[in-house]
Homo-oligomer: A and B are copies of this chain.
């Protein structure tokens, strides 16, 4: 498998055949399943799911983010998000602080316990990612990210870059 990329010799653009594209599509499908498997396993003991993981991830990533900010990031309605946040707050994982400048806003933070769960989840996911990165090597990783970024919707890419620009 994984026949070399055939750096456009003779017939050129061989990597754009329908067959190559289809393989990419199927690779995304199967890889995403692996990508979510570990956190899913961890959370199923806790009466939580992928939605909670995503919220925890982005609250950790942008401490103090507001509800509407998180809504836009996750691409869900406030009702859907609210249900998840309520569970996280009830479980003592997330803390809400009323905005100081604008007191309508709710700023979201992880509690100590929430941060601990975040670490557990992201350690599992990072471990898989690290193994994949190590197997594939730095050049492959650069390509991986390039293709993923090119695959995003414009809105998502902006959000992704806004995040990426922050911590890194």
Contacts and interface: CB of A to CB of B under 8 A. Distances in A.
A97 interface: no
A18 B133 CA distance: 12
A2, A23, A130: residue with the most chain B Cβ atoms closer than 10 Å: A23
Q: Assembly of this chain: how many copies? A: 2
A90 interface: no
Given A32-B28, A152-B33, A142 B141 contact: no
A147 B153 CA distance: 21
A77 interface: no
Interface in A100-159: 122, 125-126, 128-153, 156-157, 159
A140 B110 CA distance: 36
Contacts of A16: 130, 133-134
Given A18-B126, A21-B126, A144-B147, A164 B1 contact: yes
B35 A28 contact: yes
Contacts of A164: 1, 23, 26
A26 B160 contact: yes
Contacts of A152: 27, 30-31, 33-34
Interface stretch (A3-11, A64-72, A78-86): A3-11
A27 B150 CA distance: 10
**Cβ-closest 7 pairs across A and B:** A143-B143, A140-B143, A7-B138, A5-B142, A132-B150, A31-B148, A144-B147
Given A34-B152, A140-B144, 6 more contacts: A4-B142, A4-B143, A22-B61, A25-B129, A27-B152, A29-B54
